Chain A
């Protein structure tokens, strides 16, 4: 009985380690296979266009609404202490340090990540990847690598757009609707937000999230069972694993950057 339990735990750990090893190997092959992209950067720019377009509208609208809510909630809290002048600072810091990178990554996983997983999974199910291999073309280099770098480059850009529109949202609600002093709103923000500590660290966060979410999406598609059910499961796994990974990495990076 005890032996059975130990054997089951051992098997689970072994399978898990095998999966981690396979993912690490794919990741290394993706990175080393990316060298050839330097000669054909057009493949990456095409994908940035697709992936960026997929996510731009949802991220822009979400950024604006998160800014609206931050303006309302921030004013409610700050007003209790008579510090509503600091609303601009609160909105900007919340967005650049946390909400911008994290919410963008979560939305990206749901929008572009699922799309990447389904696309790669369906290419596999339709034998398109096998056909490519038989044409002596490595799908990792030709299909996965351009999408990977496109995701990594697009994520910080999208997070920056999210934060910028969030600040505008906070301004509309705080200054235009509630009546916080406009000069105080911008000057406190300018004074309190540090380019390196706040903005650059936020960009680094979104870069790391870009690597994690895009790789998870591509890996799940590439290793999906080549059936409709297999692709559906892989797409779900992209959202679940991608979101959890973003939250875990956010905790880790915040602890490292701001502690």
Chain B
């Protein structure tokens, strides 16, 4: 499966960015988590944000969605500065967004059908007959229209992720954010999910932000990739550029090397020192 990828559209002034992040600083208390972050998410593209656990990838999504506010810098979505929006305006803006959470975050007391119908019932005044048709169409798109009456506990993890995907795109959002969509999935489900992300993005004409640490699937569907490490962008480019990169961090990450800029051993004293075998001056 290969998709057409052009040069990075963010570099071209002819294509506008749906999301722009500039000089972003964020941290909890005195502990900085993200610093000096600048990113572009061009309209209609799938942009992957990659990095190891704790690199601040999910925090970027929460900042774009307005669940967190940055300490400095700007986050703009469709021309609106997210941190400056009051709650009603923020909720209005979120109607243009869809988000797929890491474990689906399906409402466990509702059926698959009612989960997908939830945003439609809450945000629109559509008659129930039309909601039914829309929900079945969305579920059909993810291959689960026949599972509509099942409860989330009755379906597999991969299927739950697909239901959550149908729910995230129920209102045909301009921006869809994916938080680790491949985590914990078997290879078949992983391939299905990756295919769906790309297909839905192109069919809806939306923009996708894909946070992941799965190199193979992400490189397959992304137009552009940012690599984060310790809250900073360490590399960015097209998947082909990243695959050929000589940057030590990118190389270690892409080729899954055990040791490198991200050390195998937790920093601290050597084993010899811990065992009292090192020579004292």
Chain B: minimal CB distance from A204 (Å): 33
CB–CB A135/B101 < 8 A: no
Chain A residue contacts of B118, Cβ below 8 A? 135, 137
Contact B94 A136 (CB under 8 A): yes
Residue A138 at the B interface, CB < 8 A?
Answer: yes
Q: Identify which of residues 78-120 in chain B touch chain A, using a CB-to-CB cut-off of 8 Å.
A: 91-92, 94-95, 97-99, 101-103, 105-108, 118-119
- List, in ascending order, chain B residues with CB within 8 A of A128's CB: 105-108
Question: Across the interface, do A135 and B123 meet the contact criterion of CB distance under 8 Å?
Answer: yes
Are the C-beta atoms of A142 and B101 separated by less than 8 Å? no
B interface footprint on A119-145 (CB within 8 Å = 1, 0 otherwise): 000010011101101111110001000
Rounded to whole Å, the gap between the CB of A119 and the closest CB of chain B is 8
Q: Are B122 and A135 within 8 A (Cβ)? A: yes
Contact between A136 and B105 (Cβ–Cβ < 8 Å)? no
Q: Is B241 an interface residue (CB 8 A)?
A: no
Chain B residue with minimal CB distance to A138? B91
Contact, CB under 8 Å: A131 / B99? yes
Residues of B within 8 Å of A126, CB to CB, are: 103, 105, 108
Any chain A CB within 8 A of the CB of B156?
A: no
Residue contact A127 to B122, C-beta cutoff 8 Å: no
Say yes or no: A127 contacts B102, CB within 8 Å: yes
Size category, B interface: 20 to 34
B97 / chain A contacts, CB cutoff of 8 Å: 134
Determine whether the beta carbon of B92 is less than 8 Å from that of A136.
Answer: yes
Per the bound structure, the CA–CA distance linking A91 and B211 in Å amounts to 65
Docked-complex contact B105 and A135, CB < 8 angstroms: no
Q: Output the nearest chain A residue to B96 by Cβ-Cβ distance.
A: A136
Q: Could you tell me which residues of chain A, from 128 to 165, have a CB within 8 Å of some CB in chain B?
A: 128, 130-131, 133-138, 142
How close is A246's CB to chain B, nearest CB, in angstroms? 28
CB distance from B51 to the nearest CB of A (A): 20
Q: Mark B153-180, 1 if CB is under 8 A from A, else 0.
A: 0000000000000000000000000000
Query: A130 and B67: CB pair below 8 A?
Result: yes
Q: Which residues in B have their C-beta under 8 angstroms from that of A142?
A: 122
B65 within 8 A of partner (CB): yes
CB distance from B77 to the nearest CB of A (A): 13
Q: How far is the CA of A147 from the CA of B90 in the complex (A)?
A: 25
Residues of A within 8 A of B92 (CB): 136
Contact B101 A127 (CB under 8 A): yes
- B19-60 interface with A by 8 A CB criterion: none
**Chain A neighbourhood of B123, CB < 8 A:** 135-137
Q: A135-B123, A142-B122 are in contact. Are A127 and B105 (CB under 8 A)?
A: yes
Q: How far is the CA of A127 from the CA of B102 in the complex (A)?
A: 9
Q: Is the CB of A135 within 8 A of B67?
A: no
A136 and B101 within 8 A (CB): no
Q: Complex formed: what's the CA distance from A135 to B108 in Å? A: 16
Q: Which residues of A contact B107 (CB under 8 A)?
A: 123, 128, 131
**How far is it, in angstroms, between the C-alpha of A96 and the C-alpha of B16 when the chains are bound?**
70
Residues in A neighbouring B122, C-beta threshold 8 A: 135-137, 142
* Interchain CA distance A127-B91 in the complex, whole Å: 18
Q: Which residue of A lies closest to B109 (CB)?
A: A119
With a CB–CB cut-off of 8 A, which chain A residues contact B99?
131, 134
Question: Which B residues lie within 8 Å of A130 (CB)?
Answer: 67, 101, 105
Residues of chain B contacted by A133 (CB below 8 angstroms): 67, 94
CA A128 – CA B65 in complex, angstroms? 15
Question: Is A131 touching B94 in the complex (CB atoms < 8 A)?
Answer: no
| Cβ-defined contact, A135 with B119, below 8 A | yes
5 residue pairs A–B, Cβ–Cβ below 8 Å = A128-B106, A134-B98, A136-B123, A137-B119, A137-B123
Using a CB–CB distance below 8 Å, which chain B residues touch chain A?
65, 67, 91-92, 94-95, 97-99, 101-103, 105-108, 118-119, 122-123
A contact residues vs B (CB 8 Å cutoff): 123, 126-128, 130-131, 133-138, 142
19 other contacts beyond A133-B94, A135-B119, with CB at 8 A cut-off? A123-B107, A126-B103, A126-B105, A127-B101, A127-B105, A128-B105, A128-B107, A131-B99, A131-B101, A131-B105, A131-B107, A134-B67, A134-B98, A135-B118, A135-B123, A136-B95, A136-B122, A137-B119, A138-B91
Q: Which 3 A-B pairs have the closest CB atoms?
A: A131-B105, A127-B105, A136-B94
